Structure 1
Amino acid sequence: MLRSRVLFNPLRSVTLTKRFISQTSIRMSQSDQDKNAKGGAFTSENIPGQQQNLPGLEKNMAPTSESTRLEGPTHLLEYVGVGKLRHKSALITGGDSGIGRAVAALFARESCDCSIVYLPVEQEDAEKTKELVEKEGRKCLLIPFDLSNFKAVKEVVDKHVAEFGGLNILVNNASRQVMVEDLADIDLDVVEGTFKTNIIQMIALAKFALPHLSKGDSIINTTSVTAYRGSPAMVDYASTKGAIVAFTRSLAKQLGPKGIRVNAVAPGPIHTPLQPASRPKEQMEEFGGGEGAFGRAGQPSEVAPSYVFLASAEASFYTGQVLHPNGGEVLNT
């Protein structure tokens, strides 16, 4: 046991003095078999060519993505929470895997209960996310639901409120992407589906969540680096992500007088199941290698702290803003 120790936290270091803490409070992985990293640094070198069908499953990823570990001097370090989201509950769409799973896990470490929304085919992945949340002593409600049926999404909000008695944080994270190299070949039914899944359901969820949100609560939307640099092979996807930025800024102005914050996160290339489910096998080999300032893809665990910050009281003066964990792929001013 230790008398004083600085706990690693990506947003803030906290010194605990004259308090006993158990060794389990400081988590460090020293696995020599870690396929996502070399020493304490993440790498894209060990990502093989692979392909899945949409929506993509975490259980079929090779290697699986990181949900809770961050880079360290010699080993990957586990994120350690300090109760930033205590007494709060969050509704997270796309929470079964990838960024959504990492957000749920880190929220749990910050003492937040959550519901996660996912497609029925993603049930096994969702169960794993629930395990991660419950391991931290928090509650996790599973809600299998196809959000493209946006006229019925009120049911999702109602289930969360019935379970937790209220709602403090809405994380609009679910999305899909389909690659088409030539606009002449694009299927307009697919385009419609992409807009329903990526932006229309997001507006619908915010609409039905709003009556349950109050001063100090927040909405966090997942946009993408493609909203800022464009994507020739994902014209419709990039368009929805640009729309999400505009939606975030507009809703932030509308809800500002109520003290409800609306922000967004624009990840760069991240190692998630959505990637092998939306691109040819050969494009997944060393996915993200050579991109951005770091020359690699990011991990969901490196994106999730942005959501923690935006959901916390530390972001009390942030609204209408977009955070950019993109590894330097696009340098924003």
Structure 2
Amino acid sequence: MATKTFKLNTGQDIPAIGLGTWQSEPGKVRTAVAEALKAGYRLIDCAYCYGNEEEVGQGLADAFAEGVVKREDVFVVSKVWATYTTRCELGLQKSLKSLGLDYVDLFLVHWPLLMNPEGNDDRFPKLPNGERDIIRSHNHVDTWKQMEKLLATGKTKAIGVSNYSKRYLEQLLPHATVVPAVNQIENHPALPQQEIVDLCKEKGIHIMAYSPLGSTGGPLFTAEPVVKVAEKHGVKPSAVLLSYHLPRGSTVLAKSVTPERIRENLNLIELDAEDMKLLNDYSDKLTKEGKLQRFVYPPFGVDFGFPDKS
């Protein structure tokens, strides 16, 4: 499955599985990236906000130097952070410098908001009362207009969004000259976000799923249908949760810094219609009962238009 790809609306091929680097422990990211590339991963997902792009860059450089892989064979994703959404080119430049690259394959808007670019912190500026320092008059469409201009620089091959709800996409698309190539969202059976997935499919926007296991500790490992499908195929629940995205036509990000787990996460399986029905029925039940679980929702104090949070 490591070689499976999907086609983006840009014509680029994007791998079906990638290595995520969010919250990866400092000092372990470099090895994790190099190990992942050796194991067969060809997509590395990173972001300025994660604070570890320098280590990611070192891992990439190690793999290139060892001849494990060439730059053009690796799909590198980065994201413009909320303090740079009025300075997208500077945000991209900072990421490229840390990564030691001339270009990324995909550059995303990390969250559709602006935090004070002149605030008291480069990544998480706060007000005296401890709340996030957010410029609420900012329109996320203005950020997209800047993103579109980046394509002409050659510093990114594609642009996209992240954490965009159906409502925000519907605000953006009428003003977009370039349709986003990707929308990266939290996605798993306990948060199918079907309304976003369906809209993206209709508009030719590829879904990239993060936090596919739920969150730290894998809270979805014990969900009854996940366990049932895992037992049927003789695999771990994690393999089911990662494999769930392939029939949905989505790319999935697996996060680990342990070499053994990194390799194990590549062992995706083909789920059949019966398996997907079990998992989808579970999603529908949670949706009807109002019990969907979103594990990643920073305290911005902004309504991003997600039904489970609005």
TM-score under structure 1 length normalisation: 0.35
TM-score under structure 2 length normalisation: 0.37
